[in-house]
């Protein structure tokens, strides 16, 4: 087991990846990055993230598609995935939650409430129990 929680940051924009990696690193998290959905799906089995911060709108596979793929694989279905997007309309958020996001944050990120939400998501990702996430989500 790692001493630090590992967060996989997935965003097609290099400045966004760097910003998130720097902020998370400063808070003591280990960080891996991917610049596409395809790269993220290839990295997940290797880096075994506790949390995936996933941009929603990317070329190739969208964040929604990546999240559905993570949820569909029994080996990765337990990973906490937080969607990141500039689209903050209620239907966008609902679409993300339906795809399997634990939470949906709007860019630009790290206001206090977003930072607290990410801390909660990481703690949730590390909470080792027998709760069935799907039954919990439906409550």
pLDDT of amino acid 53: 94
Can you give the CATH number for the domain in which 118 is found?
3.40.50.2300
Quick check: is 12 in a domain? yes
Quick check: is 53 in a domain? yes
Q: Whole-angstrom Cα distance, residue 18 to residue 11?
A: 10
pLDDT of amino acid 112: 44
Please confirm whether the linkage preceding 13 is cis (ω < 30° from 0): no
**Position 6 pLDDT exceeds 50:** yes
Phi, psi of 97, deg, nearest 5: -65, -35
pLDDT band at 124 (very low <50, low <70, confident <90, very high): low
For the chain, the domain total comes to 1
Quick check: is 101 in a domain? yes
pLDDT band at 131 (very low <50, low <70, confident <90, very high): very low
Residue-wise pLDDT tens digits, 82-103: 999 887 788 888 888 899 999 8
Residue-wise pLDDT tens digits, 30-48: 999 999 999 999 999 999 9
Q: What are the contacts of 126-134 at 24+ separation with CB within 8 A?
A: 126/5, 126/50, 133/77, 133/78
Quick check: is 86 in a domain? yes
Quick check: is 99 in a domain? yes
**Position 108 pLDDT exceeds 80:** no
Quick check: is 1 in a domain? no
Residue 100 structural domain: 6-137
């Amino acid at each position: 087991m790692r001493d630090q929680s590992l967060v996989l940051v997935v965003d097609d924009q290099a400045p966004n990846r760097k910003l998130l990696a720097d902020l998370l690193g400063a808070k003591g998290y280990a960080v891996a990055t991917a610049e596409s959905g395809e790269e993220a799906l290839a990295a997940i089995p290797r880096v075994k993230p506790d949390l995936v911060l996933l941009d929603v709108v990317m070329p190739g596979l969208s964040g929604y598609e990546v999240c559905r793929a993570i949820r569909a694989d029994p080996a990765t279905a337990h990973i906490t995935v937080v969607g990141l997007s500039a689209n903050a309309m209620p239907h966008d958020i609902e679409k993300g939650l339906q795809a399997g996001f634990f939470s949906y944050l709007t860019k630009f990120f790290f206001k206090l409430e977003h930072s607290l939400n990410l801390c909660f998501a990481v703690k949730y990702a590390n909470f080792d129990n027998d709760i069935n996430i799907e039954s919990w989500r439906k409550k």
